[in-house]
């Protein structure tokens, strides 16, 4: 990220945590569960130069990953926020103040870039850390009058949009849902698959889209090495990619699949940072990378993954985690970078929500059919609707101060 930081970085004065439940317009089912509401953790950072918002992408339960909303809220309250606010973590003797040391502030070191080092004493919890970093980055860029797209190095004003389609109760309902998304203009369809829901639905959707329609599948780690012949048979459907069929730690089996099929293998859950991305690529376990900033600990690490993949000529795309407009705005800015050459899961707000905590993201028309405009206002470029944050609250807000 390019930096034109002011002479003095912002000073974090308070961190607020808001847990909300946003109703989904339709249930969303994957190989690891079914959701009817999106429980989200929003992080509101108040600094001496202005405020910023970030969104934690952890789910309600620890099924997609080890992280979940309640755990993220707890680790932020007990460890991460006290560290950034200059207090000790849970009574420990270590006061981690790297993010706001006098030397860093006087030298104009960007505050957002100091968040990850300051929180490194806590193992893991990338989604919680990423939410804080996003909020700090939003506040910092708003103070500078710069958009995330500008700061990230966006090269496009509009980004192509794909849509993620969950596992449907019946094949007929799946085809009806996909037909609706095609009519809305989405430029790529992604199908969730699992054992017993793979070859038949993929074949039916391929027939619906025709040979030229962009189609890919996502298994969310639901398969094993015994399923390699079945997954290789999906070559017949001309897919863009097969996403994360095996366990996140199992690079070896992904490499075996890659050698057994023509369809590119894409990794999602396995990619935690730039180092793991390069390792997976060099092992032949992936030839496409799904970049999800929350899974990588924040947008700054996501930028490093993008740069590493681009240097190796590996295409990337931006994944989604049912984000509200807060997270969606930052994802759209990220997807405008040059290495994002495939449509991402940056769907319009209406794909998931009848109403959103920001102004809704709406698909373009005409030449921009199937695209979203990259926000160009400072920070994320969106305003948070405090009324809906209060209305959808699932727990009392938590305010942590110095």
Q: 315: exposed, middle or buried (C-beta count within 10 Å: 0-12, 13-18, 19+)?
A: middle
List 129, 190, 192, 194, catalytic entry: 192
Beta bridge pairs of residue 315: none
Q: Which helix (H) or strand (E) holds 205?
A: helix 199-209
Residue 13 near residue 398, CB atoms below 8 Å: no
Point out the catalytic residue in the list 129, 190, 194, 292: 292
Are β-strands 371-373 and 158-160 bridged in parallel, bridged antiparallel, or unpaired? Answer: antiparallel
Under DSSP, the state recorded for 202 is H
User: Is 192 an active-site residue?
Assistant: yes
Pairing, β 398-401 against β 12-30: antiparallel
Q: Tally DSSP H helices, then E strands, for the chain.
A: 14, 13
3-class SS letters over 10-68: CCEEEEEEEEEEEEEEEEEEECCEEEEEEEEEEEEEEECCEEEEEEECCECCCCCCCCE
Are 135 and 327 in contact by the 8 Å Cβ rule? The answer is no
Residues 6+ apart with CB under 8 A from 215: 188, 189, 190, 191, 202, 205, 206, 209, 237, 238, 239, 240
Which pairs from 201-204 meet CB under 8 Å and 24+ separation? 201/168, 201/171, 201/174, 202/234, 202/237, 202/239, 203/236, 203/237, 204/171, 204/174, 204/175
State the Cα torsion 217-65-273-258 to the nearest 10°. Answer: -30
d(CA 28, CA 12): 37
Task: Show the CA angle centred on residue 236, arms to residues 230 and 240, nearest 5°.
Answer: 95
User: What does 58-96 look like in DSSP terms, one character per residue?
Assistant: -BSSTTSSS-BHHHHHHHIIIIIHHHHHTS-STT-S---
Q: Known catalytic residues?
A: 192, 292
């Amino acid at each position: 990220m390019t930096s034109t930081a002011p002479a003095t970085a912002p000073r974090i004065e308070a961190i607020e945590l808001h847990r909300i439940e946003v109703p989904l317009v339709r249930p969303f089912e994957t190989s690891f569960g079914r959701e009817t509401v999106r429980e989200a953790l929003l992080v509101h950072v108040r600094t001496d130069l202005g405020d910023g918002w970030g969104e934690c992408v952890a789910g309600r339960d620890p099924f997609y990953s080890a992280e979940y909303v309640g755990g993220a809220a707890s680790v932020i309250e007990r460890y991460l926020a006290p560290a950034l606010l200059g207090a000790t973590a849970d009574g420990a003797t270590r006061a981690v103040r790297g993010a706001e040391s006098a030397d860093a502030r006087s030298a104009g070191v960007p505050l957002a870039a100091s968040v990850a080092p300051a929180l490194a004493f806590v193992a893991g919890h990338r989604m919680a850390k990423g939410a804080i970093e996003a909020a700090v980055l939003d506040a910092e860029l708003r103070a500078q009058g710069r958009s995330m797209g500008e700061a990230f190095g966006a090269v496009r004003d509009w980004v192509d949009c794909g849509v993620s389609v969950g596992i449907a109760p019946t094949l007929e309902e799946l085809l009806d849902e996909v037909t609706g998304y095609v009519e809305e203009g989405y430029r790529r369809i992604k199908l969730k698959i699992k054992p017993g829901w793979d070859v038949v639905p993929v074949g039916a959707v391929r027939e619906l889209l025709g040979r030229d329609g962009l189609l890919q599948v996502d298994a969310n780690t639901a398969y094993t090495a015994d399923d390699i012949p079945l997954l290789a048979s999906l070559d017949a459907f001309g897919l863009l990619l097969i996403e994360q069929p095996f366990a996140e730690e199992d690079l070896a089996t992904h490499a075996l699949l890659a050698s057994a099929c023509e369809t590119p293998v894409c990794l999602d859950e396995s990619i935690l940072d730039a180092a793991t991305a390069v390792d997976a690529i060099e092992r032949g376990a992936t030839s496409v990378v799904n970049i999800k900033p929350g899974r990588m600990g924040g947008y700054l690490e996501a930028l490093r993954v993008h740069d590493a993949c681009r240097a190796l000529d590996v295409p990337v795309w931006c994944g989604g985690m049912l984000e509200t407009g807060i997270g969606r705005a930052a994802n759209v800015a990220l997807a405008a970078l040059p290495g994002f050459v495939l449509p991402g899961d940056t769907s319009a707000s209406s794909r998931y929500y009848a109403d959103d905590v920001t102004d809704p993201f709406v698909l373009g028309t005409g030449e921009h059919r199937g695209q979203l405009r990259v926000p160009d206002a400072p920070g994320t470029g969106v305003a948070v609707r405090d009324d809906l944050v209060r209305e959808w609250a699932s727990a009392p807000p938590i305010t942590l101060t110095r």
